[in-house]
Chain A
Amino acid sequence: MSDLAVAVATFRNRPASRRRRTKSAVLTALLIAAVVVALGVLAWVLVYVGIQGFGALSPAFFTHNPPGNPSVAGGGFFNGIAGSLIVVGIAAAIGVPLGVGAAVYLVEYGRGRISGTIRFFNDVLIGIPTIVIGAFVYAIWVTRFGFSGFAGSLALAIVILPLVTRTTEEMLRLVPNDLRESSLALGATRSQTVLRVSLPTALPGIITGAMLAIARAMGETAPLLLTALGNDLFTQLNPGKRMSTLSLQIFDNAATGFREAQSRAWAGALTLIAIVLILTFVARYFGRRVRTAGDR
């Protein structure tokens, strides 16, 4: 307010001088330039990956494994794509229910300091480097049971969990209390109210949050280096063994220095971006419905 008070004295009864208007126009232009830069980079990344990826994509990319010799053309990332689906699938099966449960606790059960603490550390966990999560899973799991797709799933579940908790909590808070009170007034127990009233009402939003978290996990590479390790040449569908994922294969093939391997990596990058963007768009579609429903 004080800034405003000072400003009143400065501007009173004085139409904006040309100098001030020019300054405003110049700075507005600078701000818009920032947007142009941001969107320009986005377009640059998407178009570049699109061009490189489409040039390298073929039906065989989705049905074959990489050739044993990285300098040979052809082959694909079938094992990585299958591995990504399995690893992320298990991670979601672990992380999403736990995240929803934690959010139910925060909104429907928790109170006071404990839930405040949990909420705070949940936000902090979102910002923990995923490579550290990978090192942690290595310490608790890989040291005992060896590298495996499942270890990768554990790491990604820790990536997914706090994101799901956060969005589910926000969605549960949008459920009107009237609904809960009506349910309780009808004689439903608390758990019945949660399971039959609160969660179903918030479901579209919860799905959105889960899909965005899964999209994020799909693109993760660093924690998988320390857990799933990768298994470049063979199809491995058993999560108890070391496994390749799409992201790991892009990383490995991009670094080889062979043009042929790099072009497979570009096809992989395009596939990965496509998966992530489709998940994001579908999630946003659900999310838009939620938001319009929640508009005041």
Chain B
Amino acid sequence: MMPPATAGGIVAIDGPATRISLTRRRRRPGEAFFGTGVAITGGIVLVLIGAMIVFLIVQGLPAMRHYGFFSFLTSARWAPSEAKATVTTPNAYGIVQFIYGTALTSIIGMLIAVPLAVGVALVITEIAPRRIKRPLSSLVDLLAAVPSVVYGFWGIFALIPAIRPVVDFLTSTLGTVPVIGAAFGGPFFGVSYFTAGLVLAIMILPIIAAVCREVFRSTPRDEREAAFAIGATRWEMIRIAVLPRARSGIVGASLLGLGRALGETIAVTMVIGNSVLTINHSIFSQGATMSSVIANEFTEATEPFHLEALFVVGFWLLIMALVVNATARAIIRRGVAV
């Protein structure tokens, strides 16, 4: 017989449910129907991801055929609006500058968000008094609840005026240094890679913080106490008991944030300036990312191969997102709701 039910409340159970094999002599058709039904819904996820890859390739195929599969990745010239384009001599569609924009904005976002998120998570798990831990995490989670379009709008009207003096100072000092100056040169029009990176940092901070929180929480209590017992200060406890175990978790969390940054669209579209023609080297200049060019040009793409080329951009974006997210998930395995 089974053990008696535990008294009161729900008890969390780890691990898979015990399988009870019943004899299936009188298995009813309804049972099979239900079982098949949920199995199909379970399979939808796999079908969706497979279909996304297939359909993006199919839509982009005419352009891939015409220009060559990898030609998009070797040119940074995107000129959909050039006159005199025909089906036989269409405009140039190189996407390197979008990959550059996506990478640059994501890196700026990560450089800012990762240290902040790790700090926030450490405060929540190690430093804050017990009573304010839960409200503090909820507030940080709220950052993730604000819609992307609102961040973009706020970015244009609140963030850009606020950072303008700082950036103007940087372009006039760092921007004039001989070698690295090119990366920090002006003029600054407000919308830029840097602005987009800042907005991305705000948007991915709560995601990274949430994962780090779970990772830090899993540090064994004894090790923290052992660290304190041998006379470590609080920082030393964090450094010797918490951080070493959390290294891979932090990497996974950062990759998850990177995955989100790569694909973030609307907020970036609103603050990056959508300059598609070529790579702009200064982080304070206008640019475009893979997602922003799709959002910005998709419904106006009437030139030959323009729409198809946008699907090619979407295809590579999907591949990047799949790789980054799969790696992140493989590292942090599972169990953090973001």
Interface residue ranges, A against B (CB under 8 Å)? 1, 3-4, 6-8, 11-12, 14-16, 20-21, 23-24, 27-28, 30-35, 37-39, 41-42, 44-46, 48-49, 52, 97-99, 101-102, 104-111, 115, 117-133, 135-136, 138-140, 143, 158, 161-162, 165-167, 170, 173-182, 184-185, 189-191, 194, 201, 215, 218-222, 225-226, 229, 247, 250-251, 254-255, 262, 265-266, 269, 272-273, 276-277, 280, 284, 293-294, 296
Q: Using A20-B236, A135-B311, A191-B34 as known contacts, say yes or no to A173 and B13 having CB atoms under 8 A apart.
A: yes
Selected from B28, B148, B151, B233, the residue in CB contact (under 8 A) with A189 is B28
Interface residue ranges, B against A (CB under 8 Å)? 2-3, 5-6, 9-14, 16-20, 22, 28, 30-31, 34-35, 37-46, 48-49, 51-52, 55-56, 58-59, 115-120, 122-124, 127, 136, 138-140, 142-143, 145-154, 156-158, 202, 205-206, 209, 223, 226-227, 230-236, 240-241, 244, 256, 259-260, 262-266, 270, 291, 294-295, 298-299, 310-311, 314, 317-318, 321-322, 324-326, 328-330, 334, 337-338
| Residues of chain B lying within 8 A (CB to CB) of residue A201 | 10
With the chains together, A111 CA to B15 CA distance in Å? 12
Q: Are A139 and B158 in contact (CB under 8 A)?
A: no
With the chains together, A102 CA to B48 CA distance in Å? 13
List 21 A-B pairs, Cβ < 8 Å.
A7-B227, A16-B233, A31-B120, A34-B120, A38-B206, A49-B150, A102-B42, A105-B41, A109-B35, A110-B39, A119-B334, A124-B326, A125-B48, A128-B321, A132-B318, A135-B311, A136-B56, A161-B44, A173-B12, A189-B31, A219-B149
A52 CB to nearest B CB, Å: 8
Q: Are B154 and A45 in contact (CB under 8 A)?
A: yes
Q: What residue of chain A has the Cβ atom nearest to residue B136's Cβ?
A: A35
Q: Using A24-B236, A181-B18 as known contacts, say yes or no to A132 and B321 having CB atoms under 8 A apart.
A: yes
Q: Are B56 and A221 in contact (CB under 8 A)?
A: no
With the chains together, A20 CA to B231 CA distance in Å? 11
| Residues of chain B lying within 8 A (CB to CB) of residue A46 | 146
| Residues of chain B lying within 8 A (CB to CB) of residue A30 | 119
Q: What residue of chain B has the Cβ atom nearest to residue A1's Cβ?
A: B223
A157 CB to nearest B CB, Å: 10
Q: How many CB-defined contacts (below 8 Å) exist between A and B?
A: 337
Contacts A180-B17, A266-B153 supplied; 12 other A-B pairs, CB < 8 Å = A14-B231, A24-B234, A31-B123, A38-B116, A109-B38, A128-B52, A138-B298, A175-B13, A191-B31, A191-B34, A220-B147, A284-B138
